[in-house]
Structure 1
Amino acid sequence: MPRAGFERVGRILTTVFGLGFVLIGLRYFLDPGALTIETDVAMPSTKAVMEIRTVYGGMFIGVGLTTFLLGWRRATLASGLWVLVLIGGCVAAARIAAVLLGQAPDALFAGLLAVELIGVAIALWVLRGLGAAERAA
């Protein structure tokens, strides 16, 4: 595949994951109680609700914007892909470690793990393709 093709795939990937992170962040910032329903995370106090808004809201929005914005400039596309690889890879590794420590995954957990692993694999493939195209030029 030519460099332009890898760049196109990389932009699509960073856009999809970036917007996905932003939407997740907005959801939990605006409705922190949704986390309780979806993952059984308890929020026994206003302090807990504030923490959900800041971490699941603010951090996810920041990661999403970083991934999205880096992915749209040719000069920073590889950085956007590395953000996706590092964050998605670390979250996937933590999910796998949780299973190895004896926690049984449910359908949501398994689905998120699959999305993370596929996203990381595609990002690594694009990074490899961009590197090969650069070396050939």
Structure 2
Amino acid sequence: MRRARIILAIQMLALGGLGLAYFIQPHEMTNASGMLLMSAAAATDVRAYYGGLQIGLAAFLAMALSREDLVRGALTLLVLLYSALGLARIGGLWLDGGAQQTFNLVALLIEAVSLGLAYWALQGLRADLGE
């Protein structure tokens, strides 16, 4: 259980921090990947989707840290989340010619590591429970 809680805490801090950064400074955060926000509507969408969604995920992970019955679900969510993000990013790199996309290659590495850690913690939780 300790491994699971450490992974959840790290993910909570990372997602919460990125979510706040996208909410507070959407232009600066999107510029890192080459996106330009050309209207107020675009900035609001980034604040909501990139900011709000990550803040919401971080809040769920915080709740899971305080409630043992949510730990398995939170880890399962992270495994599914990072699997979907990684596969979609691989698809995008393939469709858009990704050899020169340093930002997306680094993001893919981070997603793969996050997926591996969440899966490792989930497997450890199963072993702790004797499943």
- State the TM-score bracket (shorter-chain normalisation): 0.7 to 0.9
Task: Give structure 1 stretches of 5+ with no counterpart.
Answer: 1-6
- Alignment-derived partner of residue 123 in structure 1: 118
Secondary structure of the structure 2 residue equivalent to 1:64: helix
The answer to whether the Cα contact below 8 Å between 1:71 and 1:81 also exists between their aligned partners in 2 is: no
1:73 and 2:67 equivalent?
A: yes
The ranges of structure 1 where at least 4 consecutive aligned residues each deviate by more than 4 angstroms after the TM superposition are none
Identical aligned pairs, as a percentage?
27
RMSD of Structure 2 on Structure 1 (CA) = 1.7
Partner Cα distance (2:128, 2:31) in 1: 46
* TM-score normalised to structure 2 length: 0.88
Normalised to the residue count of structure 1, the TM-score between the two structures is 0.84
Point out where structure 2 has 5 or more consecutive residues left out of the alignment.
none
The total of aligned residue pairs comes to 130
Per-residue deviation, 1:130? 2.1
What CA distance in whole angstroms lies between the structure 2 residues aligned with 1:101 and 1:71? 38
**Once the two structures are superposed, what CA deviation does each residue of 1:26-60 show, in whole Å capped at 9, x if it has no partner?**
11111111133201212111111111111111111
Q: Helix, strand or coil for the counterpart of 1:23?
A: helix
Alignment of 1:1-137 (within 5 A): 7-104=1-98, 106-135=101-130
* Amino acid aligned to 2:125: L
Distance 2:49 2:25 in 1: 13
